[in-house]
Chains A and B, each alone.
Chain A
Amino acid sequence: MGEPVIQTDKLTRRFGDFVAVDALTFAVGRGEIFGFLGANGAGKTTAIRMLTGLLTPSTGSASVAGFDLYTESEKVKRNIGYMSQRFSLYDDLTVKENIRFFAGIYGLSDTAIKEKSAKLLKKLDLQHAANARLRSLPLGWKQKLAFSVAILHEPKIVFLDEPTGGVDPVTRRRFWDMIYEASERGITVFVTTHYMDEAEYCDRISIMVDGRVAALDTPEALKRQYRAESMNEVFLHLARAKPEAG
C-alpha cells in the first residue's frame, strides 16, 4: 500500500445518543483510489466531515496527510482538496475568476496562479471559454474544472463527494480519466458515489452500514467473498442486511 496518507483508529462521532460514525478504523495509501460507499444515512457524510477537519470527532484518533485531526486540523485543511456535487465553484464568476479565487485561497502566489491557470485551461481545452461565466458551461465541464481546481495546490489527498452526478456515461468516464491521472501523480483519491460501476474503478472499497465499516477490500476480493457478479450485488447484500430506519 505504501505509506498511509489517511490513518484512522476507532474514529467515532456521536450526535446526542445517536452514533453516526462508530469506531472507524482504516488506512488509505498514497496514490490510492479509495471508494467510500454506503446507503443514505450510513454515516458517510459525517465521516468525510471529520476527515476534512470540518467536524471534531467524539473519540478515537486519526491522521490525515500526516497531520493529527485534533491538533492540526488547519494543516489538514491546507493539504487536502475537496469537491462535491453540491458545492464546488461559483456559477456567477468566470472560469478564470474561479481558478484565481480558489488558487488564492490555497495561498498560491500571483505568478504561480497565472502559470497554473494557463496550463489548466490548456489541458482542459477551455481557453476559448476562459472568460465565460461558469453558469454557461455544460455540467461535465464544470465537474472537470471543479476537480482540477480542487487539486491545483497539489494536495496529498482529494475528497470527492458524488462528483459525477447527472452526466452522460461518456462524460463520466472522462472524469474518471482525470481521477486516474491524479492517482498516477501520487494524489490519493477518496471518492463517494452512487454509481456502483464506478465503485469497480477504485483500488479499494469500503462499504459503510449504520456507521460501521461492513466491508473493506479490493472490488475483486469483495465480489469473490460475497460470490457476486458486480459491486451492485455486494452493496445490496450488505446494505440490505438491516432495514433502513428512515
Chain B
Amino acid sequence: MKAEKQAVQLFALAKRFGKVEALQEMTLSVGEGELFGFIGADGAGKTTLLRILATLLLPGGGRAEVLGLDVVASYRDIRRRIGYMPGRFSLYQDLTVEENLRFFATIFGTTIAENYDLIRDIYIQLEPFKERRAGKLSGGMKQKLALCCALVHRPELLLLDEPTTGVDAVSRAEFWQMLGRLKEQGITTLVSTPYMDEAALCDRIAFMQEGRLLAVETPDAITTLFRKPLFAIRARQTWPLITWLRSTPDAHSVYAFGRAVHYTDNRLSASRDELLLSLQRQGFTDVEVQQIKPGIEDTFMALMEPERGERHG
C-alpha cells in the first residue's frame, strides 16, 4: 500500500469543538483506488473528519492532504476534484430528480451527458421517476440520487458521510454494489457507516470511537486483533442465559449475537466442554457451545474500552 500514491493522508490531525475533542491526533493514509470505511457510532468523529477532508472545516491541529494537496491552502483545487455527499442527503426537495442532477452538474461546470457513463448504472433506476420531486422519493431512491449528484462531475475522490443510515437493508445492499462498481472505475471512496456488517465490503476499515482510531486494517486481518477464545453459546432461553453468564465471576464479555450469545472468559484455560457442563448443571436446556472465529463486530466491541463505552453510551 505504501508504494502506491496516496489519495488521503492525515498527519496527527486533530479538531476540538469547545470542550469536546472530536478528533484526537489521527494519522492515517488511504491509497488511490481504495474503498475505505470509517466504522463508528455517532460522536466517533466520522463526520468531522470527512468535513475536514472536504475542506469544509479547518483542522484544529496537525494537517491533512487530499489528492496530494493541503486541505487548508489548496481548498479550491480540492473542491473541484472531489465529490462529497453529506450525512443528510442534501437534495433540493422541491426540485425534480432531473432538475437536481442537472443543477449539481452545472455548478461543477459540466453536464449530465458528459459523464453519463459513470452514473448510468445508478441513474437508470431513477429514470422512471425523473419528473418526481426529490422530496417524494423513498429513502433508498434519495440515496441513489444523492450519489449521482456527487458523481456527476467525475470526481477523483468520493467522500460519503453515512450514506446508508436510515435506509433499509435492500437499498443498503444495492448501494454497496454501486460502490463496488465505482471502485472498478478507479474512484477512491471514503465512506463512513455505523453498520458493522458493511465493514466487510471495504478494502480497509478504520474503527473509530470518540475521535480516536481504534484500529486500521483489512476486514480479514482486523479480526486477528481479537485475542481471546470466543464461544458462541445457545440455549432455549436466551435472556436467562445472558443474565446467568454475566453473573459468573469468570465472564469477561457476554454479548447477544442473533440467537446466540458470544462469550469470552477471563481464564485462558476455559474450554467448550467445561462451559457446556456448567450450563447444563444450571438447568439450561438445549445448550450448544461452539468455539468460533471472531467477526468484525466482535473485534470492534473488544477494542472499545469497555468502561468507556458504558460511560459514554
Contact = CB atoms under 8 A, between A and B. Distances in A.
> Do A and B contact each other directly (Cβ–Cβ < 8 Å)?
yes
A236 interface: yes
Contacts of B258: 197, 200-201, 219, 230-231
Contacts of A138: 43, 312-313
Contact of B196 (A169, A183, A239): A169
A139 B138 contact: no
B40 A168 contact: yes
A192 to B, nearest CB: 10
A39 B171 contact: yes
A236 B42 contact: no
Contacts of A246: 128-129, 132, 136-138, 141
B168 A40 contact: yes
A236 B194 CA distance: 20
Interface in A195-218: 195-197, 200-201
B100 to A, nearest CB: 14
B313 A40 contact: no
B300 interface: yes
A105 interface: no
B297 interface: yes
A184 B239 CA distance: 9
Interface in B5-60: 40-44
Interface in B297-313: 297, 300-301, 304, 306, 309-310, 312-313
A176 interface: yes
Nearest to A33: B239
Contacts of A219: 258-259
Residue of B43, B129, B165, B313 ringed by the most chain A CB atoms within 10 A: B313
A235 B166 contact: no
Given A169-B300, A236-B173, A194 B309 contact: no
Contacts of B91: none
Given A39-B140, A177-B242, A244-B140, A235 B309 contact: no
Interface in B257-275: 257-259
Chain A interface mostly helix, strand, loop or mixed? helix
Contacts of B312: 138, 140
**Chain A: interface size category:** 35 or more
A165 interface: yes
Interface string A154-186: 000000001001111111011011001101100
A38 interface: yes
Interface in B49-81: none
A194 B137 contact: no
A38 B171 CA distance: 12
Residue of B137, B169, B209 ringed by the most chain A CB atoms within 10 A: B169
A178 to B, nearest CB: 11
A26 interface: no
A171 B259 contact: no
A170 B168 contact: no
A196 B309 contact: no
Nearest to B195: A195
Given A139-B43, A168-B304, A246-B132, A38 B168 contact: yes
A227 B169 CA distance: 18
Contacts of B259: 200-201, 219-220
A244 B166 contact: no
A220 B258 CA distance: 10
Contact of A166 (B165, B196, B297): B165
Contacts of A231: 258
B182 interface: no
Interface in B139-182: 139-141, 165-173
A167 B140 CA distance: 21
A139 to B, nearest CB: 5
B137 A141 contact: no
Interface string A128-145: 000000000111111110
Contacts of A38: 168
Interface of B: 40-44, 128-129, 132, 136-141, 165-173, 194-197, 209, 238-239, 242, 255-259, 297, 300-301, 304, 306, 309-310, 312-313
Leading 3 A-B pairs by shortest Cβ distance: A140-B313, A138-B313, A200-B258
Interface of A: 38-42, 137-144, 162, 165-171, 173-174, 176-177, 180-181, 183-184, 194-197, 200-201, 219-220, 230-232, 235-236, 239-240, 244, 246
11 contacts: A40-B138, A140-B312, A141-B313, A165-B165, A165-B194, A169-B301, A170-B309, A170-B310, A200-B259, A232-B169, A240-B170
Given A171-B309, A236-B170, 12 more contacts: A139-B41, A140-B41, A165-B165, A168-B40, A168-B41, A177-B242, A180-B242, A184-B239, A195-B195, A235-B170, A236-B169, A239-B168
